[in-house]
Structure 1
């Protein structure tokens, strides 16, 4: 691998410290019926708009059917999932976990801009590395380009971070490996269902039953 290839890799949105020159952009976007403001930057995922997979996952997520407890936005990017859900669920607490330090900083700013900073704890974390609580729900739009191992870790280790009857919700395109992800969810939780299909995106959900595959 030559130096140019190494430099290119450090600009990926799933790296800890992207080196791309800053190029901040602020836009407004409605999510779950709330007009929100997001600031993004070069070196973060979907910097120009909230990506369609995230939108589809939010619309499909049944927030009324989860137990009491906090919610984890894993691989949170600049925070659209945690922030829109915090607006919708003002009595819930959230953890937004993100490996990319630049994106994590944007979550803090965006939570403040949308008046939900008191509900969201931002954690810089490689998957679950710095996540220690158990949650009523985990939502994840996996960074497919980070590789199969990362996606599998986000799914298989979720059961260690869910409360009984808590849910894992995952969005993937079929061509990105949705069928194999669903198979892993079934192996991990003994249950998995596709709760929605939207323009090629599969939104899949598993429920953690205490003792599943223990």
Structure 2
């Protein structure tokens, strides 16, 4: 049986790796393992999302990351912003690694736990939702992350995703436009699109 990083449990044999990577002026030390996404380095899409995302103009409140993997996006934003970050993934191995990585990088303004998309998130009024969505899980999952995010954001909150053009960025942008009434490409880099929508304030 083949296990995928977007599934809950992995019986893939362990193959622990440790390595360092600089994100937002901090040298992070990561522990990764087989059965998680991009175990050998911080993937390029995540790097572009981290560098592009702006938390300074957001309303007050928590930031939620859907599909955190072993933690680079959420931990980098938590370190740089001092915001409280809730980080979730369906993959239990990824969650345990993200918790280890938070501890070893001394980042404590995070709450890391398992959730199948939004099924076990803690709030309904996040200031922002971030995701490098699991493309291999299929378009239906990616579009559910987009569609359901609207119900978990406060007014003026944002959804920001990274997705490659060839892996469905135009389709994702259209879905975000349909859900939010707006969807801007705020960055393009080597075929990766950072797309952002905001929840409009009710008149």
Q: Same fold (TM over 0.5)?
A: yes
1:64 deviation in Å? 1.3
1:165 deviation in Å? 0.6
1:63 equivalenced with 2:55 (yes/no): yes
In structure 1, the partner of 2:69 is: 77
1:101 equivalent among 92, 96, 100:
92
Gaps of 5+ in 1: 1-6
1:142 equivalenced with 2:133 (yes/no): yes
Deviations along 1:174-202, whole A, 9 cap, x unmatched?
11000010000000000110000000000
In structure 1, the partner of 2:199 is: 208
In structure 2, the partner of 1:128 is: 118
Matches within 5 A, 1:160-179: 160-179=151-170
1:46 equivalenced with 2:65 (yes/no): no
Larger mean Cα displacement after TM superposition, 94-103 or 58-67: 58-67
Cα gap change, 1:73 to 1:147, in 2 (>3 Å): same
In 1, Cα distance between the equivalents of 2:153 and 2:51? Answer: 21
In 1, Cα distance between the equivalents of 2:112 and 2:151? Answer: 20
Alignment coverage as a number of residue pairs: 202
Deviations along 1:83-116, whole A, 9 cap, x unmatched?
11111012x1110010000000011100001111
1:119 equivalenced with 2:109 (yes/no): yes
1:172 deviation in Å? 0.4
- Asked if the contact 1:132/1:161 (under 8 Å) is kept, the reply is no
- Asked if the contact 1:15/1:99 (under 8 Å) is kept, the reply is yes
SS for the counterpart of 2:75 is helix
Larger mean Cα displacement after TM superposition, 131-140 or 42-51: 131-140
1:66 deviation in Å? 1.0
2:80 equivalent among 83, 88, 94:
88
Cα RMSD of the aligned pairs, angstroms, is 1.1
Gaps of 5+ in 2: none
Deviations along 1:100-137, whole A, 9 cap, x unmatched?
00000011100001111x21111201111101312111
4+ residue runs over 6 A deviation: none
SS for the counterpart of 2:56 is helix
1:159 equivalenced with 2:150 (yes/no): yes
